[in-house]
Structure formats: C-alpha cells, structure tokens
Amino acid sequence: MRNKTTVSQAISRELLKMIEHGKFPPGSKLPSEMELAAHFGVSRIPIREALSVLRAAGVITSRQGGGSYVEENAATSLLHHIRIEQDDADIIKHLFEMRKILEPEAAYLAALRRTPEQLQQMRNALKRLEIECNDEEKTGQKADIEFHSSIIQATQNPIMIQMMENLSALYERALKITLKPNLKLKQRRKAALKEHRNILSAIEMEEPELARIQSAIHLKNAEKKLSLLL
C-alpha cells in the first residue's frame, strides 16, 4: 500500500537538500532545467515538477527566460509538515498547549471585532449545542467545532483563522487516532455548555479581557478531562 516515491519526488527532496546544504546558496541561480535534467539523467518533466514544488513552497522563484533562483529566506515548510504517526500522546499535549495559547487571544480579538452576523453565528451554534446536549444520541461535537470556529472567524485575522483551522484539524485527527471509540464525554457536557455561554456573553458585551479569561477557564477544565483520558 506504500506509495512508491517517484523520480520527481526524489529530485525535489534532493534539490531541497542541496539548497539547505548550501550547494545553492540563497540568491544564487540554479542550473537550467536542461542542465539539471542531464545531471540527474532524466527528462525535463520530473525536473519541472520538482521545481514547481519548491516554487510553491517559496524555496525558489522562476522567471520565464530568466532562470530559477534560490529565495533569500527559504521557507521549507511545505515539505516537512507535521505528520501524526500512531498514538503519540505527546503530540496531543503539544497541540492542546497551542490551543491554550491561541484560543483565549482569539476570544479577546473576537470580542473587539465581531460583526453582528458573526455574533448570530455563535448564537446559532450555541443553540444547537444546547439542543444536542440533551440528546443522548448526539455527541454535539460538530456544533462545538462550529461555535469555536465562529469565534476564530470573528477575529478578522486571516493568519489566526488559518492557524487555528490547521490546529483544530490536527487536534481532532490526533484525538481520533489515540482515543479509541470513546468514553462518555457526557458528564462534563453541562458544565462545558455553561462555559461556552460565558464566553459568548463576554463577546456579546464586547469585553475582550473577560472573553479571554472565560476561554482560558474553559480550556483549563477541558484539559483536566483530557488528562484523565490519556
């Protein structure tokens, strides 16, 4: 089932290694595609696909007719992204630590900047959360995600939005992997709901500091529950 690595992928990694190793220092010009093709003993196609990856990652830039150049500050982020192997309980703690840092600040910003529409979105999500809370069948997880997501959106900061989106996705995936089919989350649901209401009302009242504190409290309690499950 393993994905065999293709020539273009191998070349992409190889070129990146060369760049990181200083073989092509920042600002320098790469050999032409023809030269690279000759050097690796392949056609231009795998070379171009490898270069397009490095280009998308911000490692190089290319100008038609001009050649490809190594960026001054090569952000190699694309290639070594965080992968969650099997049950790594440590990673969950690290992910949660980032949530504890980011979410209270997001609540703070949301209290400052939320539009009426975004406020309504939070109210709707909370309402659904209340309904599902009483339903033994539903987990309410989706509404929960939506509530938190609407707060993030209200920060109006695209970087925050992007970071939290990725962080949440990683967190949920990590939880799903490590926590087997699960366990009653019910006993804390009522309490969590109240915490959510507190956050929302702080945002409604446009009280950023309070929103930050309420969010921090919520996360602190969630962490307690989490530590029991690990």
Partner DNA sequence: ATCATAAAATTTGTATTACAAGCTACTATT
Partner DNA sequence: AATAGTAGCTTGTAATACAAATTTTATGAT
24 or 171: CB nearest its own copies: 171
* Closest CA relative to residue 215, chosen from 136, 101, 116, 90: 101
Long-range Cβ pairs for the range 118-126 (8 Å, 24+)? 118/150, 118/153, 118/154, 119/154, 119/203, 119/204, 121/146, 121/150, 121/153, 122/147, 122/150, 122/151, 122/154, 122/200, 122/203, 123/200, 125/150, 126/196, 126/197, 126/200
| Per-residue tokens: 152 | 């993030």
What whole-number distance in Å separates Cα of residue 128 and Cα of residue 124? Answer: 6
Chosen residue from 35, 165, 172, 209 binding DNA by CB under 7 A: 35
Amino acid letter for position 180: K
Q: Interface residues with its own copies (CB under 8 A)?
A: 3-4, 6, 8-9, 12, 45, 48-50, 52-53, 56-58, 61, 63-64, 72-73, 75-83, 91, 94-95, 97-98, 101-102, 105, 109, 157-160, 162-163, 165-167, 169-170, 172-173, 176
176 or 194: CB nearest its own copies: 176
Residue 43 beta carbon to DNA: minimum distance, rounded to whole angstroms:
3
* Continuous segment of H or E residues that includes residue 62: strand 60-63
199 binds, among its own copies, DNA, none (CB under 5 to 8 A by kind): none
Number of shown-chain residues binding DNA (CB under 7 A): 25
Chosen residue from 33, 132, 144, 195 binding DNA by CB under 7 A: 33
Is 8 a binder of DNA (CB under 7 A)? yes
221 binds, among DNA, its own copies, none (CB under 5 to 8 A by kind): none
Residue 221 beta carbon to DNA: minimum distance, rounded to whole angstroms:
39
